[in-house]
Amino acid sequence: MKFDNLDRKLLHLLQRDATRSLNEIADDIGLSRNACWRRAKALEEQGVISSRVALLDPVKINLGLTVFIGIRTDHHTAEWVEKFRKAVQDISEITGVYRMAGDTDYILRAMVPDMKAYDRLYKRLIDKIELSDVSSSFVMEEIKHTTALPLDYI
């Protein structure tokens, strides 16, 4: 895919606030409303823009504790991986799952109200899938969190 500076500007603005009107965005990047709409539509059709969502404040919806969970397993079969995928997909508090290189096989990001809720999540997880080791780290302060991706590489 080829991107020009107008695409970068459009993506930059949409990542920061997709609720802005098309007229405002078009004015900011120096395009007509229709040209801006065509570019946005093309970026959606190409899968560059994968969705438009509302970002919620976790504290205001009682999810004040973020947990990073390191998982190690002795099982690496396709069947185990599929069972693991299903287990983590079914737990709504788990908001991210990443297969890793190195000593930890998977890192999970979870959001819960408190330690008791985390303990319930932990018990549900280990009931669903056999794990060799689970190690959790609790976020004390969020220094930076963004959903905006860097656009310098396109």
Q: How many Å apart are CA 28 and CA 26, to the nearest integer?
A: 5
Domains of the chain (ranges; CATH) run: 5-45 (1.10.10.10), 59-138 (3.30.70.920)
Residue 74 one-letter amino acid: D
Tokens of 8: 């970068």
Mean pLDDT score, 18-28: 96
Per-residue model confidence (pLDDT) at position 17: 95
Residues 36-53: what's their mean pLDDT? 96
Strand partners of residue 69: 108, 136
Provide the pLDDT for residue 15: 96
**pTM for the model:** 0.88
Whether 138 contacts 67, CB under 8 Å: yes
Question: Cα(119)–Cα(63) distance, rounded to whole angstroms?
Answer: 14
**Residues facing 108 on adjacent strands:** 69, 97
Buried b (16+ CB within 10 A) or exposed e, 43-71: beeeeebeeeeeeeebeeeebebbbebbb
Residue-level pLDDT at 47: 97
Mean pLDDT of 130-153: 96
Query: What DSSP character marks residue 49?
Result: S
Q: Rounded to an integer, what distance in angstroms lies between the CA atom of residue 76 and that of residue 13?
A: 42
Instruction: With cut-offs at 50, 70 and 90, classify the pLDDT of residue 113.
Output: very high
In angstroms, the CA 68 to CA 11 distance is 29
Q: Per-residue confidence at 1, pLDDT binned at 50, 70, 90?
A: confident
User: What value does the mean pLDDT of the chain take?
Assistant: 96
52-99: per-residue pLDDT in tens?
999 999 999 999 999 999 999 999 999 999 999 999 999 999 999 999
